[in-house]
A and B are shown apart, each in its own frame.
Chain A
């Protein structure tokens, strides 16, 4: 494991949003889906297909907005998001199982 360096300031053109998960806060951009960004922050999220057709990565969206560049094949329950293909568009709060 390499040492943890100080976070760099985000580039100005990047839209950065906060993701609240319990007591954790993760910064994400709109460049990539939520799943990869959570994984990089060391958070384990269930997944299988990573392209929107299996629903394994379904996570509760307590508030905030996400969009899907391509409509996923999996059913998205209201109040949930599919992490593998959702692009975060505002600060959001998410939760795993109750």
Chain B
């Protein structure tokens, strides 16, 4: 079936699945199958920000004073972030809009992608402010082997889904010989599987890979360095928290069968593959950490600690989509990151608030004074 920008059929879109049903016709939000997506849209719009609002004048001086290996860490991390948002600024649109079937979800995808374009523009803002020649940095993103390796893993599921949907839209179902690609089978279960794996890999991109990069950005700010950059990353992190909730909803709705019973079967079938996507990404991020810190670590962060954070955050994200956790790290090795991730408009000062709870019936004999270090009574 080929895509139509205005489907002429009469149908009740609240009876359609999220994907691979009818093409959306009227962009209407008076009746919604999954109102959560409109809530995400509203929240995302309330987050609107512009990179130029953030002053980066002290970052330039900070950057020049960084040691060489620290500049390597900072720039490599920034290149990786630029790559990730380059992918995210287009791929949800290109891959998902042709197959989406609910108006509220279609608009969420567009709103989501749009916010990624703000992220991309903010990297240019940062790079322009800290170096004289941004070209060198941007050009390296397509040549640096460590970065291109990352590019392969973040784009391959998207690319495969796009290829299959293109075939489906032009040729329909069947097995097709594609020059240079071999034979590709197109069937609804195959399409749905490719979609499910893609959403999982997008969740991994936004909920794990990005958070690893946030840790590096904030590690500089913990030392009161590159604070303008950290302000921008805080705004990006707030958006990403919403995006990862979007893909968690998609994955959980798919797996629950509440959206499309056929998708629930597929989700169950590829649970192992999805686990593998999470685990592989975590291993790649650990490798990346080794590359970042190859010439030396920085105060507060090294390859080992970042690797532990990778394991920890992967556990958190796996649990959120109903997968069994698989790494040994059960505690956040860099708890300070949360104070950076939290939005400015939210107060986090437990010691300032009135105490209304206290420990009682302490039965843990191993509890010592250090357990109380963090709170005043």
A interface residue numbers (CB < 8 A to B): 1-5, 7, 14, 18, 22-29, 31-32, 36-37, 39-42, 44, 46-51, 53-56, 58, 73-75, 77, 80, 96-98
Q: Is the CB of A24 within 8 A of B364?
A: yes
Q: Is the CB of A49 within 8 A of B346?
A: yes
A98 and B324 CA atoms in complex are apart in Å by: 10
Q: How many of chain B's residues have a CB under 8 angstroms from any CB in A?
A: 49
A5 and B358 CA atoms in complex are apart in Å by: 10
Once A2-B376, A41-B357 are accepted as A-B contacts, the answer to whether A96 and B330 lie under 8 Å apart by CB is: yes
A37 and B355 CA atoms in complex are apart in Å by: 8
Q: Does B178 contact A (CB under 8 A)?
A: no
Q: Is the CB of A46 within 8 A of B342?
A: no
Contacts of B346 in A (CB 8 A): 49-51
> Known pairs A55-B245, A75-B245. 19 more at Cβ < 8 A?
A2-B377, A5-B377, A7-B360, A25-B361, A26-B359, A27-B358, A31-B356, A39-B350, A41-B375, A42-B373, A48-B241, A49-B346, A50-B342, A54-B245, A58-B316, A58-B319, A73-B242, A74-B248, A97-B325
Contacts of B361 in A (CB 8 A): 18, 25
A46 and B348 CA atoms in complex are apart in Å by: 13
Q: Is the CB of A40 within 8 A of B362?
A: no
Q: Is the CB of B330 within 8 A of A23?
A: no
B interface residue numbers (CB < 8 A to A): 36, 39-40, 43, 237-238, 241-242, 244-245, 248-249, 252, 315-316, 319-320, 322, 325, 330-332, 335, 338, 341-343, 346, 348, 350, 353, 355-364, 367, 371-377
Which one of A31, A44, A54 has the highest number of Cβ atoms from chain B below 10 Å of its Cβ?
Answer: A54
Q: List the count of A-B residue pairs having beta carbons below 8 Å apart.
A: 132
Nearest-neighbour CB distance to chain B for A65, whole angstroms, equals: 18
Quick one: closest B residue to A22, CB to CB? Answer: B364
Q: Is the CB of B372 within 8 A of A4?
A: yes
Quick one: closest B residue to A39, CB to CB? Answer: B350
Q: Is the CB of A77 within 8 A of B342?
A: no
Nearest-neighbour CB distance to chain A for B71, whole angstroms, equals: 28
Q: Is the CB of B350 within 8 A of A36?
A: yes
A58 and B241 CA atoms in complex are apart in Å by: 14
Quick one: closest B residue to A10, CB to CB? Answer: B356
Nearest-neighbour CB distance to chain A for B238, whole angstroms, equals: 7
Which one of B331, B350, B362 has the highest number of Cβ atoms from chain A below 10 Å of its Cβ?
Answer: B350
Nearest-neighbour CB distance to chain A for B232, whole angstroms, equals: 17
Q: Is the CB of A54 within 8 A of B338?
A: no
Quick one: closest A residue to B237, CB to CB? Answer: A48
Q: Is the CB of B342 within 8 A of A73?
A: no
Nearest-neighbour CB distance to chain A for B354, whole angstroms, equals: 9
Q: Is the CB of B252 within 8 A of A75?
A: yes
Contacts of B348 in A (CB 8 A): 50
Q: Is the CB of A27 within 8 A of B40?
A: no
Contacts of B39 in A (CB 8 A): 73
17 contacts between A and B (CB under 8 A): A4-B372, A4-B377, A27-B358, A29-B357, A39-B375, A42-B375, A44-B374, A47-B342, A48-B237, A49-B343, A50-B342, A53-B245, A54-B241, A58-B316, A73-B245, A77-B320, A77-B322
